[in-house]
Amino acid sequence: MTAVVLRRQEVRMATWIKETDRAIYLMQGNVWISRITKAPSATNPKEQVVNITGMEAWFNRPDAPAGMTVSMGTGAPEPEQWVPPQSGQINQAGLELIKHFEGLRTTAYKDPVGIWTIGYGHTSMAGPPPVYEGMTITAAEAEAILQQDLDIFERGVADALTITTNEHQFSAMVSFSFNVGLGAYRSSTLLKKHNTGDFAGAADEFPRWVYADGEVLPGLVRRRQAEQALYLK
């Protein structure tokens, strides 16, 4: 138990505050994730004014900042803003996870909840081609369809992120959303906890998504365990 707790603590990237001549930043790693800019004082040209009301949210985070650096008058460059991952950035471990659990089926079949599926878990809900009974494809076509589907889920996951996310967390959430759907992912407690910086809490949400029609599916249990392990990597 102790080893698991320590591992989860290690994946939480602490935040800190940095003040420069132009702004006060909430930093995570070497990039800023929130910023309060300074404005010239209307009464004293040698002073600057800062509206600090937005800082309350910084200190309500599970990874609230506990330190600060001041880089005023040093000529140092302003920090760069964090940019969320874009499409096409699922890593190899995430891709292999999806392929392993979806499996390659070149003839259409019904999944455990009765949805026609083909290739690596492709359904009509993900976009073309529509899947129908009796449909067949080649292995090469399945690869092409998977890449097309991944573009959708990578963009969907990236668009929902509001904080720094490493490649393993991103890839685990792409696999998760690929399985449960982007709508369920966007409304999930997993995403909410991740976006507040509660990475341990987000990881704990994976095992909750193991039901189909009210029953626990062993395959979903194994998949969530793999996604959780990748997220915490």
List residues with catalytic annotation.
Answer: 102
Task: Give the residue from 130, 177, 134 showing the smallest Cα distance to 155.
Answer: 177
Residue of 100, 110, 32, 122 lying closest to 69 (CA atoms): 32
* Nearest residue to 232 via CA among 192, 184, 182, 194: 194
CA neighbours within 13 Å on the CB side: how many for 227? Answer: 31
- Helix, strand, coil tally for the chain in percent (to 5): 45, 20, 35
Backbone phi, then psi, for 68, in 5-degree steps? -150, 145
Q: Residue 169 contacts by C-beta under 8 Å, 6 or more apart in sequence?
A: 194, 199, 231
Q: Contact, 87 vs 156, CB < 8 A?
A: no
* The two structure tokens encoding residue 129: 């081609």
Tokens of 101: 């659990």
Q: Is the dihedral of CA 23, 25, 30, 33 positive or negative?
A: negative
